[in-house]
Structure 1
Amino acid sequence: MISQLSWKIGGQQGEGLESTDRIFSTALNRLGYYLYGYRHFSSRIKGGHTNNKIRISKKPIRSISDDLDILVAFDQETIDLNAHELCDGGVIVADAKFSPKVPEGIKARLFAVPFTGIAEELGTSLMKNMVATGASAALLDLPIDIIKEVIKEEFGRKGTAIVDKNIEAVSRGAEFIKDETGGPLPELQIEPADGQRRLFMIGNDAIGLGALVAGCRFMPAYPITPASEVMEYLIKRLPKYNGTVIQTEDEIAAITMAIGANYGGVRSLTASAGPGLSLMMEGIGLAGMTETPVVIVDTQRGGPSTGLPTKQEQSDLNAVIYGTHGEIPKIVLAPSTIEECFYDTVEAFNLAEIYQCPVIVVTDLQLSLGKQTAENLDFENIEINRGKIVSEIDPREDGKLFKRYEITEDGISPRAIPGTKNGIYHVTGVEHDEEGRPSEAADNRQKMMDKRLRKMENIQVTNPILVDAPHETPDLLIVGMGSTGGTIDEARSRLDKDGISSNHVTVRLMHPFPTEEIKPYIEKAKKVVVVENNATGQLASLIKLNVGYAEKIANHLKYDGNPFLPSDIHETCKELK
């Protein structure tokens, strides 16, 4: 038996691949397997090649695999595009309808299964995806009862007849494969999992759940890939907690509505991707100037402009840090796991109110949309900190307004929610005095700028970096961010076998940069390799700017729209060492 396996399904967008993937992977999750998924899809509603790849293991995994064991194909294009990933002895399960052929040089077993034919016998070709699900389950010798249970949940709202037809389609697909193979294939049998139930979700859902738990009750947003799922998650759930989601006319409206809600005391966030973030920049500046807390989620994708809207990239780093005109206090968090997406979102709301500034949570497409196993979340220890909100304000004898922007030692002023007795003050986007009244006086300007920026001097963030440093003076320090963490760790295990020692740092606080935390690890390493999905080495540039040691820093960049594979990092690090 094997300890892990990779499965991929491909075809034309709109053929039901998502349902196959969802039901198959959900069943595996319930059996206790760890899963890590990656979606390759086109930026259109229907048509164009798409595929979903799932890595299945009895042990925790945090990256997609280099190779492939099973390829399920709805068309010949899927075989032509993906068969090169198959390991020797891998299996192709393809719809017999298109007379599938194995490309020359590929050593794989082909099983032509009448996905469409069986589905049409049952009444509709749409059920070919369920036939494929059954065939996949049979190859792995999975209990069909688990698949049936998931189908009942997936299609139950459509009635018993639909459920029964889909279950029959699964059973027919499984029977066909069993007849063809004569029984389970030994090389595809995974060791039994522990049966423990774990979360199985995408990063965007974890962000939405984090926002809900943090007390967010309003989300204005405009749909955009790969951020829309945050909005879709909260659309279903916020109304149950007296909250709401509004689909705005554009991202400018979204950010200003979020600022308005936070000004009124309601925790609010908005979510977007690079193009939407660009439109929000003036609004983010307004939040900085008025010292209004607001949380923004940026799910990075391929840019610039429309770019590659459904592909992986990490190229918004400069934008989230430097995009606003002028200078404002701002915090940028970069979670690297599903669990961190949840906890960092909760922390983002606390930080926004503690420091009264914008907080940007920056993810990437793989982390946002790649469905994966996550450990159960700890709801008991969630804390809410609303900062310096004052509810009782003494009246001013001089008749002046509340000093909302009072100059304080830590740069954080007392905050009154509108309606608080004696808490009236002026609000404007122009420079202002302590009461919020417009002021262009030179001395006031300098004092107010200094006050706002003082907030950045003592920011306390949970785990600004994550460190795995078993070596005192390693050959390599590999630095990454976002979804690259698990892939780097897998590459490091291969480097160990090559006799190359390595440490690993994941940067989670992008701004203000955790210079003192990361500096010792850079100093001790013989060479530093910075792994990032962009063309200009934005994270490496941040390290050079804030820490130095440019002479020992090397870039490993990938910007073709695909996430890193363990082999990518392993081979590059071997060369750079």
Structure 2
Amino acid sequence: MKTQLSWKVGGQQGEGIESTGEIFSMAMNRLGYYLYGYRHFSSRIKGGHTNNKIRVSTEKIRSITDDLDILVAFDQETIDVNASELHNEGFILADSKFTPTKPDEVKATLFAIPFSEIAKELGNPVMKNMVALGATASLLQLDAEAFRDVVQGIFGRKGESVVKQNMQAIKEGTDFLHSQIPVSYKSMKLASADGYARMFMIGNDAIALGFLAGGCRFMAAYPITPASEIMEYLIKKLPEFGGTVIQTEDEIAAATMAIGANYGGVRTITASAGPGLSLMMESIGLAGMTETPLVIVDTQRGGPSTGLPTKQEQSDLLAMIYGTHGEIPKVVIAPSTVEEAFHDAVEALNVADEYQCPVILLSDLQLSLGKQSVEPLDYRNVSIRRGKLNTNKEAENGSEYNGKRYQVTSDGVSERVLPGTKNGVFHVTGVEHNEHGKPSESASNRVAQMDKRLRKLSHLIDTYPTPIYMNRTCDEADVLLIGFNSTRGALEEVQVQLQQDGYCVNHAHIRLIHPFPTSHLVPLLQAANKVIVVENNATGQLASIIKMNAGFHEKIESITKYDGTPFLPRALYHACKELL
């Protein structure tokens, strides 16, 4: 009996491929399995090949697999593009409408099933997806009733007759395939799950939920893949908490509006992808100079320019650290799991307030749009810290505010006064200024203000909750694996495989990218004979940052991937073996 399987559905974009995967995933999640899903889709609304690959397991997982057990195909292109992933005992469930064929070298069994014809006979051709789910259920020895709660939840508002019709389509698919499979065929039946239904969500939803829990009440943003879901989530939820979302005319307006709202005291965020962040760079510098909190999400995708809008990449790293002109304090945080995405969103808001500077929450397409099982989030650790936010109670009682918004302090952080506070008026400008905020080109003032701003982050590394996720299994390692963002799941599996081969392996995932947690990483680098840095870009940006901050050039090797697809565990394992 299998402990995990990989299932994929494919067809033309706009054909309901995503909803098919969603219904299958939700049903398996409610049965208690762990899931991880990844969508391949084109950068257009309709047309072009798309697929949704779902990994189902009895144990926690954080990546998709190299191979495939079941491929559901609504067109021949799906077979042509994806059949190579099928192992010899896999299955292709294809719509007989297009007379499916498979390459000679593919040994998986093909079943041509009249998805479209059965759906048409039931009165709705769109329900071919439900027939396909029924055929899948037959292979997994699942009762069609396993889908009822999900179907009820999705179609119940349309009336019981629609629910009944869709359930009938699932049953027809189950019955048809059951009649076609010889008794000698092995099923894909999974071992029983623990029956515990976890949350099933994408990283963008977790980020948005984290902002909501962390006190964000305003978002200004312009839609862009793969960040739009953050805005869509908050459009629905923020009004329930007295907040709102404004879709701006472009990313420049979004960033400056977010700065204005934060200046007014409202916790505000914006979210975009690489092209949008390029437009925001001057505004990020403005937030740094005016010492205004600003939280921006960058969901990385294929670049440069428009690049690959719907494909995986991690090539914004250096831009997020060094993209602005001039020198300002800036924080770059990189969660690696959905749970971390939630908590890091909260922490980004706190850090921005405490250090009065721009904070970039760095994600990537795989983490932002990949859907996975999530344990219940721990809200006990959610706290809201506003830092040196001076409500100026003394001034309200008649004392005089000294007006030194940018007062030089030992920790680099000055008290912040909100507009409208009695006697709290101060001058603010994007040019260099003195302690009162008035423009100044004095050389001594420039040095004093620059030094003040740049020493803000001197203690952040020591106070940040988890600057590096570490799985240290040995004191002296044959190899140290390092990554950031969504590569964590694949690296975790590679670590296990290499240890089974007899290697001693440690794993570090960088979560605080800037300022770089050198002191935390150096002991792991010292204890490793070889260091392998894994990242989805062409130039090894994370490896360069490690070398710049920590050294150890002679130990560090890079494995890069920049074809628009995520790392797969087995392929990454073989790439690591070649370096050992």
TM-score tier after normalising by the smaller chain length: over 0.9
Q: Residue 450 in 1 paired to residue 425 in 2?
A: no
* Displacement of 1:351: 0.4
CA distance in 1 between partners of 2:439 and 2:400 (Å): 18
CA deviation map 1:207-226 (0-9, x unaligned): 00001000111111111000
Aligned residue for 2:571, secondary structure, equals helix
Give 2:414's aligned residue.
413
Give 1:136's aligned residue.
136
| 1:481 paired residue among 480, 484, 487 | 484
Equivalences for residues 15-414 of structure 1 within 5 A: 15-181=15-181, 186-392=186-392, 394-395=394-395, 402-414=403-415
Aligned residue for 1:409, secondary structure, equals coil
Q: Residue 4 in 1 paired to residue 15 in 2?
A: no
Per the alignment, do residues 185 and 38 of structure 1 end up closer, same or farther by CA in structure 2, a change over 3 Å counting?
Answer: farther
| 1:501 paired residue among 504, 508, 515 | 504
* Displacement of 1:551: 1.1
| 1:560 paired residue among 542, 560, 563 | 563
Task: Give the stretch that moved more between structures: 385-394 or 330-339.
Answer: 385-394
CA distance in 1 between partners of 2:492 and 2:378 (Å): 25
Per the alignment, do residues 399 and 29 of structure 1 end up closer, same or farther by CA in structure 2, a change over 3 Å counting?
Answer: closer
Q: Residue 432 in 1 paired to residue 430 in 2?
A: no
- Give the TM-score taking structure 1 as reference length: 0.98
* Displacement of 1:399: 7.5
Task: Give the stretch that moved more between structures: 317-326 or 469-478.
Answer: 469-478
CA distance in 2 between partners of 1:60 and 1:538 (Å): 29
* Displacement of 1:395: 5.0
| 2:493 paired residue among 490, 512, 517 | 490
In structure 2, what residue type is equivalent to 1:325?
H
Give 2:532's aligned residue.
529
CA distance in 2 between partners of 1:127 and 1:569 (Å): 38
* Displacement of 1:182: 5.4
CA deviation map 1:460-515 (0-9, x unaligned): 21110011111222111110001111101111222123222211000000000000
CA distance in 2 between partners of 1:76 and 1:418 (Å): 62
* Displacement of 1:157: 2.4
Pairwise CA RMSD: 1.5
* Displacement of 1:175: 1.3
CA distance in 2 between partners of 1:133 and 1:235 (Å): 32
In structure 1, what residue type is equivalent to 2:494?
A
Q: Is the 8 A contact 1:141 1:184 kept in 2?
A: no
Q: Is the 8 A contact 1:302 1:311 kept in 2?
A: yes
Aligned residue for 2:446, secondary structure, equals helix
* Displacement of 1:398: 11
* Displacement of 1:161: 2.9
CA distance in 1 between partners of 2:380 and 2:473 (Å): 32
CA distance in 1 between partners of 2:400 and 2:385 (Å): 31
* Displacement of 1:427: 1.1
CA deviation map 1:269-299 (0-9, x unaligned): 0000000000000111111011110110000
Q: Is the 8 A contact 2:352 2:359 kept in 1?
A: yes
CA distance in 2 between partners of 1:400 and 1:58 (Å): 61
For structure 1, the 5+ residue unaligned runs are none
CA distance in 1 between partners of 2:532 and 2:381 (Å): 36
Q: Is the 8 A contact 1:13 1:42 kept in 2?
A: yes
* Displacement of 1:400: 7.7
Per the alignment, do residues 440 and 183 of structure 1 end up closer, same or farther by CA in structure 2, a change over 3 Å counting?
Answer: farther
Q: Is the 8 A contact 2:262 2:268 kept in 1?
A: yes
For structure 2, the 5+ residue unaligned runs are none
Q: Is the 8 A contact 1:336 1:484 kept in 2?
A: yes
- Give the TM-score taking structure 2 as reference length: 0.97
Q: Is the 8 A contact 2:401 2:423 kept in 1?
A: no
Q: Is the 8 A contact 1:138 1:184 kept in 2?
A: no
Give aligned-pair identity as a percent. 63
* Displacement of 1:184: 10
* Displacement of 1:110: 1.1
* Displacement of 1:92: 0.5
Q: Is the 8 A contact 1:234 1:245 kept in 2?
A: yes
Write out the 4+ residue segments of structure 1 that deviate beyond 6 Å after TM superposition. 396-400
CA distance in 1 between partners of 2:159 and 2:249 (Å): 37
Aligned residue for 2:72, secondary structure, equals strand
* Displacement of 1:178: 1.5
CA deviation map 1:229-262 (0-9, x unaligned): 0001111111111111111100000001111111
